[in-house]
A and B are shown apart, each in its own frame.
Chain A
Amino acid sequence: MLISSNELTSLLKRVFEGMGYPVGYYEDAAGLVKWLQVHGEQGFGELQRALPYVADSQRPALELLAEESQALLFDCHGRSGLNCLPSIVELAQTKVLEQGCVNVKVRNCHNRKFILKLLVDCARQGISGLAYWQNGKQPVSEHVASIAVGARYPSYSEALLVDPATADTQTLTLLLSTRIDLQGQLHGSAGQRSGYRQVSPEQFARAGEGALEGGMDISIELWQQLNQLAEAVLVENSEQSRSGAGGR
């Protein structure tokens, strides 16, 4: 079935609110999922993979383990990037605006692909960014996304890792700078590396235009699953409550 971008955002906000995300977090989490989906990067698929981790209020909070003048080290304690990455990037932004460059390492973080939208936010704030992470279990893939200052869309590339034995699949490395143009992509090409795929800013833009024009396709099963999750924010109906809507 086809849904609109606004409809998706509205539903996702309720989903994350229902999971206990505070105000300010559930809007961001919805925005991160929507960005991926609207721009052709399977936000729904990422969300489905993320669902086991996103209702994570029982896990320890995001922790800043170490802070140096140009470096930050965080531990997400197995939480989803959906509710950790916005705070991490904001703290990194304050650092980069002071220092000109910052190196951020994020440990024990799931769903790191949602960093893409946050890189776009950085670019709008005059900050160039590059993110690198590895993901999955046999096969293990590696991912790079980068964006120039002022750009509306990032570049993104992924490929299977040549030597999965050395993989670190819950870490995100993030470089942010106001002074350096951080442009980068994985070495190789589709012919040379297994699973190699590259997405240019122009491709992101085209995908966004297509979603805006025609809406987005979502499976009825996922739509129903999300709506069921969103019901957590609703209050049970009663005769008393009916009068609270101006009943007559």
Chain B
Amino acid sequence: MSTPSCIDPGKRGAQAIRLRPAHVVMDLERLGSLHQSRLSFMRCLVRKIMREGWQIEARRFELDAEGYGTVIYRIQTTGDLFSFVLFSQYLDPDKRNDRVIASEWDLTMALCEGEVDDAYVEYLRQNVPLQEAGRLDSRVMVLSRANRSVRNFDSVVAALSAGQQPEVEQIARVGYLYRTTAVYGSGKLGMADWEKVSSKHPDFARPFAAEMFNCFMLRNFSLQQAEHIARQRAPETAVALQPQLKRYFGIGNSTGLGMAPYLINHPQLISRWIEMRELALARVRGLGQVTVERLARLQVLVERGTLHIQQTVTEDDWQTGNNRVVLEDFAALQDWLASHPLHSWEQLTNWAEQQLSLQGQELLNCILLELYPELVDSLEDSFSLVESLELQPQMPAAELQALIERHYAWALAIDFTADGASETFWYRSEEKQEPRLGNCNLESGRDKQMPLGIGYLAQQCHRQLGAYLAEHPAQCTASFLLRHPEQRGIVRRMQSMAKTHYGEIQANLLDREVLPMHLLRCKLAFFGVSKFDPRSRLWVRNTMFQGAPLLEDIGQPFEDDWFLPLAPTAEKR
């Protein structure tokens, strides 16, 4: 079964909407410039929770004065029931480590189907705190862990205990109490397969929906836990967080290289996500009418974007530079909007493509999506697909050659003989199978590298195919592969990806200067994180759900407007 492009005439409209071309969209640096949008998975999830009014309550909240203990939330959706179980334990500060190789954490948690009885909670208690060293069963959908942001957590509790609100400036610097360092789903460690989750639990039948919900619940727990400890510490004086300030807390996330191979190993899924985002943008550009109201909304969001970037704190020089450029971009954008009558959004994006940085362009694109929920939001239903790379053995070898030249021209154009062009290799370490990058000149292990250099593999295949065709011009793909079995994987991939609209991420991942950071940010932007804070080219801290509604907001009026969250001002709190 092939997985053709989702952009069929029905979705594009009778007069096909113009989409940005693959060589523009699939450029790695551009993918590394994406931001949260209203199609991001967190945004979709929150819309669903709020629209359907999920009932979420702590069925068991057994924490001691220090916040250690067990908490179980019961989640009643419109047609299903889930349990979210957390174990909070003391962690020796010396053991607090965000890396995959850590073995203990402040918090560990699991999202399970149905109710959990005492016996099952004990089973979870024996396994969940162990994380990768434990085993779970198919009732568990997500397993995760988190570490405290110690300085933030302690100072927030201290302020609340003293009857005060924490300093907004501090929360603007680090907008969370906990950082999650791994969120596992999709059948890992014995948990429910994605096929089961997606078929049996429609609430979580979108990519990473259950994982995002886990983080949403973690964020809410972290705030409840801080308030609980403050109350225990000073029952007479303690106060709760003010709602606006409370919403400004997200959940921290630390993502390392481990996420990067996912984007290469799931090319059809990534291509689909990109397609939906691009289709949304194309709809806005092609169908969205410029009105006074929309222009006013654009102005509000551009100003908010400027403030949001100003409030984004990072110690990384590269990201600081990027943020500064985006601020300059948005200042120029405001000047341009003030001096040019706008007749179409295409006019605006054409100008932006000429004048703004990639991060500036993509932030503006996200803002444009905010203006037209009616053109954008329905596409959230098309983010899933059944992945299946399938060989077309009957394809004439000459046709395969033409296919490679058409769809993988970017790969054929890479000069792998250039200095450093194939110096990097990706591998799995024997230390918890952690994915790592190696330098061919400095390290051994290249013979065990993961096949992530798609450009290189495509070029190698094209070369062999050319030689084969010189001798056997009339043969088919199956015959070519019988002679060259080592090409089977890349041929199957290329034939399958040629059917997708956007195809591959166009980059040489073997280059000495490759920035895995771009891959991480691309996926994280689809998740919906904000406040990208790179710690090196290999890992990034960020914030999830900052500005999102709280549990206590469910059932209240809801504007889906937590995009680009801002530090609350005194009068708003």
Given A235-B429, A245-B99, A245-B436, the answer on whether A5 and B193 have CB atoms closer than 8 Å is yes
A4 contacts B436, CB within 8 Å? Answer: no
Q: List the A side residues contacting B391 at CB < 8 Å.
A: 90
Contact digits for A116-151, partner B, Cβ 8 Å, 1 yes 0 no? 000000001000000000000000000000000000
> How many residues on the A side are at the interface (Cβ–Cβ under 8 A)?
43
A245 contacts B429, CB within 8 Å? Answer: yes
Nearest Cβ in chain A — how far from B141, in angstroms? Answer: 11
Q: List the A side residues contacting B296 at CB < 8 Å.
A: none
Given A233-B448, A236-B430, A245-B257, the answer on whether A22 and B138 have CB atoms closer than 8 Å is no
Interface residues of B in 1-17 (CB under 8 A from A): 1
Interface residues of B in 267-320 (CB under 8 A from A): none
Nearest Cβ in chain A — how far from B176, in angstroms? Answer: 19
Q: Does A97 contact B (CB under 8 A)?
A: yes
Q: List the A side residues contacting B215 at CB < 8 Å.
A: none
A24 contacts B196, CB within 8 Å? Answer: no
Q: Does B189 contact A (CB under 8 A)?
A: yes
From A43-51, A168-176, A211-219, the one touching the partner chain is A211-219
Q: List the A side residues contacting B428 at CB < 8 Å.
A: 233-235
Q: Per a CB cutoff under 8 Å, which of A3, A24, A244 touches B438?
A: A244
Q: Chain A residues in contact with chain B, CB under 8 A?
A: 1-7, 22-25, 27, 61-62, 64, 87, 90-91, 93-94, 97-98, 124, 212-215, 231-238, 240-242, 244-248
Q: List the B side residues contacting A236 at CB < 8 Å.
A: 429-430, 444-445
Q: Which of chain A's residues has its CB closest to B481's CB?
A: A87
A7 contacts B445, CB within 8 Å? Answer: no
From B28-36, B370-378, B535-543, the one touching the partner chain is B535-543
From B354-362, B484-492, B502-510, the one touching the partner chain is B484-492
How many residue pairs link A and B with beta carbons under 8 A? The number is: 151
Nearest Cβ in chain B — how far from A241, in angstroms? Answer: 5
Q: A6-B186, A6-B193, A61-B485 provided; 15 other pairs, C-beta below 8 A?
A: A1-B190, A4-B187, A22-B485, A22-B488, A23-B451, A23-B488, A91-B482, A94-B393, A94-B477, A212-B199, A236-B430, A241-B443, A245-B429, A245-B437, A247-B99
Q: Which of chain A's residues has its CB closest to B393's CB?
A: A90
Q: List the A side residues contacting B334 at CB < 8 Å.
A: none
Q: List the A side residues contacting B256 at CB < 8 Å.
A: 245-246
Q: List the A side residues contacting B383 at CB < 8 Å.
A: none
Kindly list the 9 A-B residue pairs having the minimum CB-CB distance in the complex, ordered from nearest: A24-B489, A24-B488, A23-B489, A6-B187, A246-B538, A4-B187, A235-B445, A246-B539, A90-B393
Nearest Cβ in chain B — how far from A100, in angstroms? Answer: 13
Q: Per a CB cutoff under 8 Å, which of B138, B476, B492 touches A215?
A: B138
B490 contacts A23, CB within 8 Å? Answer: yes
Q: Which of chain B's residues has its CB closest to A121's CB?
A: B390
Can you report 7 A-B residue pairs in the complex whose CB atoms are below 8 A from each other? Answer: A1-B190, A23-B451, A27-B489, A62-B485, A91-B479, A98-B394, A212-B195
Q: List the B side residues contacting A22 at CB < 8 Å.
A: 485-486, 488-489
Q: Does B135 contact A (CB under 8 A)?
A: yes
Q: Say which size band chain B's interface belongs to.
A: 35 or more
A90 contacts B478, CB within 8 Å? Answer: yes
Q: Per a CB cutoff under 8 Å, which of B138, B427, B482 touches A2?
A: B138
Given A22-B486, A90-B478, A240-B442, the answer on whether A212 and B491 have CB atoms closer than 8 Å is no
Given A27-B489, A241-B436, A244-B438, the answer on whether A90 and B481 have CB atoms closer than 8 Å is yes
Q: Per a CB cutoff under 8 Å, which of A4, A27, A124 touches B191?
A: A4
Given A23-B490, A97-B394, A235-B448, the answer on whether A4 and B193 have CB atoms closer than 8 Å is yes
Nearest Cβ in chain B — how far from A17, in angstroms? Answer: 9
Q: List the B side residues contacting A234 at CB < 8 Å.
A: 428-430, 433, 448
Q: Compute how far the CA of A61 lies from the CA of B192 in the bound complex, rounded to whole angstroms.
A: 39
Q: Compute how far the CA of A25 lies from the CA of B435 in the bound complex, rounded to whole angstroms.
A: 22
Nearest Cβ in chain B — how far from A129, in angstroms? Answer: 15
Interface residues of B in 408-449 (CB under 8 A from A): 427-431, 433-439, 442-445, 448
Q: Compute how far the CA of A94 lies from the CA of B138 in the bound complex, rounded to whole angstroms.
A: 40
Q: Compute how far the CA of A220 lies from the CA of B448 in the bound complex, rounded to whole angstroms.
A: 27
B443 contacts A213, CB within 8 Å? Answer: no
Q: Compute how far the CA of A22 lies from the CA of B487 in the bound complex, rounded to whole angstroms.
A: 8
Q: Does B41 contact A (CB under 8 A)?
A: no
Q: Which of chain B's residues has its CB closest to A89's CB?
A: B393
Q: Which of chain A's residues has its CB closest to B428's CB?
A: A234
B1 contacts A244, CB within 8 Å? Answer: no
Q: Which of chain B's residues has its CB closest to A93's CB?
A: B393
A248 contacts B486, CB within 8 Å? Answer: no
Q: List the A side residues contacting B532 at CB < 8 Å.
A: none
Nearest Cβ in chain B — how far from A151, in angstroms? Answer: 14
Q: List the B side residues contacting A64 at CB < 8 Å.
A: 482
A213 contacts B138, CB within 8 Å? Answer: yes
Nearest Cβ in chain A — how far from B476, in angstroms? Answer: 5
Nearest Cβ in chain B — how far from A99, in angstroms? Answer: 11
Q: List the B side residues contacting A5 at CB < 8 Å.
A: 187, 193, 195
B257 contacts A246, CB within 8 Å? Answer: yes
A244 contacts B195, CB within 8 Å? Answer: no
A4 contacts B190, CB within 8 Å? Answer: yes
Q: List the B side residues contacting A231 at CB < 8 Å.
A: 430
Q: Compute how far the CA of A175 lies from the CA of B277 in the bound complex, rounded to whole angstroms.
A: 46
Q: List the B side residues contacting A62 at CB < 8 Å.
A: 482, 485
Q: List the A side residues contacting B492 at CB < 8 Å.
A: 24
A4 contacts B430, CB within 8 Å? Answer: no
B535 contacts A87, CB within 8 Å? Answer: no
Nearest Cβ in chain A — how far from B413, in angstroms? Answer: 23
Q: Per a CB cutoff under 8 Å, which of A1, A6, A23, A124 touches B135?
A: A1
Q: Compute how far the CA of A182 lies from the CA of B187 in the bound complex, rounded to whole angstroms.
A: 36
A87 contacts B478, CB within 8 Å? Answer: yes
Contact digits for B178-200, partner A, Cβ 8 Å, 1 yes 0 no? 00000000111111111110011
